Structure formats: C-alpha cells, structure tokens
Amino acid sequence: MNLRVITLCAAAFALIGAAQRAFGQAAEAPVPGSNLKVSVLTFGPGDDPWEKFGHNAIRIQIDDPFAPSEFRDVAYNWGYFDFEQKNFYVNFIQGRLLYAMIGEPGEKTMVGYKERLNRSVWEQELNLAPAQRLTLWKKLVRMDTDANRYYRYDYYTYNCSTRVRDEIDDITVGRLGALTKGVPSGTTFRFHTRRLIAESPWLYVALQGVLGHGAPGHEMDRPISQWDEMFLPTKLHDRLNEVKVVIDGREVPLVKSDNAWFTSNRPLSPQRPPATVPWFLGAGLVLSAAFIGLGRIARRHWAARIGLILLSVPWTALMGVGGAIILWAWFFTDHLVAARNENVLHVSALALPLLVLMPMLAMGRRRGARVTKWLAVSIAAISLLGAILKLLPGFYQVNWDIIALCLPVNVAMAWVAWKLSGVILAAPVAPAGVETVEEKQPGKTRPGGKRTRA
C-alpha cells in the first residue's frame, strides 16, 4: 500500500467521522421553544380601588445560560397606567385612558406582590407545544415596545385580564373560547362589581350611582357568559384549569401545574354582593323623618330653620351635582357602562337650584317660594315614577338601594316645601312702610321711631 492510498483512506475516515459528529449534534439539538416555560400568574385583590378586582400576567422563563439575562424570566402584564401621562385625569374622566403592556422580572414581580402588597400569588404552568411557546414568546417580545404596548382600556371588555385571556385563547387555537363562550356564568358585571367593592362604601355608592344599564355589549345587569366573566383574573385562573389541549396527538390538561405560590392573610372576597337595600332604606327614612320634623316647626323656632338649612344644603348638593354627573357621564363621555342610567330619575340635577331656594324658604322668604315648591314636587314625582317603572320589563337596572335612599327623602323634602311655601304665600303682603305682624314684637318705642327691648 503506497502513500497515496493511505492518504486517501485517512481523508475518507476523517470525512465520515466529521459527518457522524455533525449528525449527532443535529440529533441532540433542542427543538426550538422547548427551553421555554410559560405560566399564568394570578394576583389576589389589594388595598387601592383599582386593586380590588385582582391582576394577572403571563410569565415566560428561558432555560438557556446563553440567553440575554433580560429575557430569562419576564412577567408580561397589561395593567400599567401612569398618573403623569399627558392629560391623564382628563382622559380618565372621559373614559379614554390608555393602559400599557410592560414586561418585568418575573420572580421579582411575584416577591413584590408578596412582601410589599401582601397579595396572594398563584402560578399555573401551561402545557403548550414548543412551537406554541416560541410563537407566544416572540409575540409578547414584539408587544413589549413603545410602538405596540399601549391600548385603550375598558373596565369589563378589554382590561389586563381579558388581554391575558385572549392571548391564551389565540395560542391554543380557540380552546378556551370553545369551553366558555355562550356558557352562562349565573352572574352579571354589576354582580361582581358590587361584591368586590362592598368594603369601600364611598366607592360602592359612587359606582352604583354612575353605572347605568350600559351600552350594547356593556350591559351591567344582563347575564354574562363564562368568557365575559374572565374580566376577573381569578375567574380566568379557574377556567384555565378546565381547558384541554392536544399535544403530540394526545389530549391533556392545559394547566400542567397550579401552584399557590403565596397565600395572603387578607379576608377572602365576598362570594355575593351585600344586602344593602335595608341600610339605604334606613338612612333614607331617618333623613326623611328629620326633614319632616324640622319642617313642621321651622316657622316657630329659629333653631329648626337653621337645622333645615343644614340638612337641605348637603342633600340638594348631593342630588344636584350627582344628577349632573350622571347625565354628563351618560351623554358626554366614552364610559359605555354609564349609558341609560335609571338613577337619573332619583338623583336629579333639578335639585341644583334648591341649594339656594331651600334655605330662602326655610328663612321665610316669599321670593322663589313658588318655584321651590314646584321643583321639589317635580323631583319627588319623577322619583316616584322611577320606582313605578320598575314594574316594566325594560327597567331592570339593579338600583333598589339608590331608590330606597332617595325616594323617601325626595318625598319628604317636597312635603316640607309644599307646607312652608303655602304658609309663606298665604300671609298678607304689608304695604311699604307698614310693620307686619312678625315685626311687632314686645317692647317700647323711643322717640324718633327707634325701639328698645322691654
């Protein structure tokens, strides 16, 4: 065997070895996306009003030491807003608020909810094929840019939880929607709103006042499906545990594991809204009794007149300003849930002039007495009509607590205005320069017409 043959054989063996090594490396190479772990994080309610409904995020972890550190563990969530955003308060009031999707370090986010906010944290790892995980990760990375992160927020139909819901439904090819769309939840948007804000009385009253029937697609008192109900993060958490997906030809649960990572010591959220009507009715009856009691003796005692003023001013301010806000939110903002609000029949902007007219009537002024009477009677009549209309099918707004508070007080104020104006208008008008009966008090007159005390 000569040198040429030996050289050719060595080269052939080298090529075969290189090919075998290349083939082995290719066989051992991971499937794209197999080093990704996808989880849904669910956070329980907190202290602030915007935290009462909970929160959630999609967490993606990359098991690759060569991956950039900023991508190895990221929680992507759609719940960010900025108080320093240009025209923030104007946009908030108008219902045009922009929220943002932002990615933050996953474990740091979870620790923050635990240690700083004392809010429960659940983590559900999802059973997704490597290609699905990779597709979702790329989509979220593209979304986490200033060009794509902002969206027009809606409380019930397009919020931080529905965005997570939609991404999971999209990556599972509609599996979540197929399970929940059209399936009754037995609840309404108002049902969940009332139960979750019950511990904040001022917020409860404000939202009960301003939330109307709602525009089509945003009806507050129409039954919602399980799909709609996932505007709440905890409901999305529960539904995910029921979804099945197909991986490698086998049907498996979408949720691979459900870990209660941290359980807060906060009281659990109420399962049902509170029974508020008795409390509102009690407050309404107490206020109406005070109106009637003060009105009966206001003509005889100055203290009753002052008491009537101190009672009527805050009430008429609340009714007048509240009624104006209801109308403004309905007709002049983008708050779709404020449309078609029956509360406008009970919280009336007609009460605004009574801010001035009721104190004048209490002090016995003839001027404006007739207007005061008819304004107060009109407010009471409209409120009574609003209660009667509840017998009709179209008037199904859940607002009996507002009615229970407002109707008795509106009727009592109308009675007071009717009685006081009747007495004042029936009194004879003295000619100019002539003393009235009220002006003739015990005492003696000094020379020159000045009077002194007896």
Dump pLDDT digits (tens) for 370-391: 999 999 999 999 999 999 999 9
DSSP 194: H
In this predicted structure, the answer to whether residue 442 has a pLDDT above a threshold of 80 is no
DSSP 187: E
Dump pLDDT digits (tens) for 330-341: 999 999 999 999
At 82, the pLDDT band (50, 70, 90 cuts) reads confident
Residue 357, CA distances (Å) to 189, 305, 406 in order:
40, 13, 19
List CB contacts of 324: < 8 A, sequence separation 6 or more: 349, 352
Q: Tell me what pLDDT residue 29 has.
A: 65
**Which of these ranges, 78-87, 124-133, 290-299, has the smallest mean pLDDT?**
78-87
At 177, the pLDDT band (50, 70, 90 cuts) reads very high
At 24, the pLDDT band (50, 70, 90 cuts) reads very low
Q: Tell me what pLDDT residue 440 has.
A: 43
Tokens at 206, concatenated: 């404000």
Q: Tell me what pLDDT residue 28 has.
A: 59
Cβ atoms within 10 Å of 337's Cβ, excluding its own: 25
What's the rounded Cα separation, in Å, for the pair 69 and 132?
22
What's the rounded Cα separation, in Å, for the pair 332 and 428?
48
Q: Tell me what pLDDT residue 5 has.
A: 41
**Burial environment of residue 319 by CB neighbours within 10 A (0 to 12, 13 to 18, 19 or more):** buried
Tokens at 414, concatenated: 């109308």
Q: Residues of the chain with pLDDT > 70: what percent?
A: 88
Q: Tell me what pLDDT residue 196 has.
A: 96
In the predicted model, what is the mean pLDDT of residues 359-376? 95
Residue 449 region, left (φ>0) first, then alpha (ψ -120 to 50), else beta? left
In the predicted model, what is the mean pLDDT of residues 34-63? 95
Q: Tell me what pLDDT residue 433 has.
A: 53
At 215 the three-state DSSP class reads coil
Q: Tell me what pLDDT residue 376 has.
A: 98
Q: Tell me what pLDDT residue 358 has.
A: 97
One-letter amino acid at 170 equals D
Q: Tell me what pLDDT residue 30 has.
A: 79
Q: Tell me what pLDDT residue 92 has.
A: 86
Q: Tell me what pLDDT residue 14 has.
A: 44
In the predicted model, what is the mean pLDDT of residues 54-70? 92
Nearest of 234, 253, 254, 199 to residue 48 by alpha carbon: 199
In this predicted structure, the answer to whether residue 430 has a pLDDT above a threshold of 70 is no
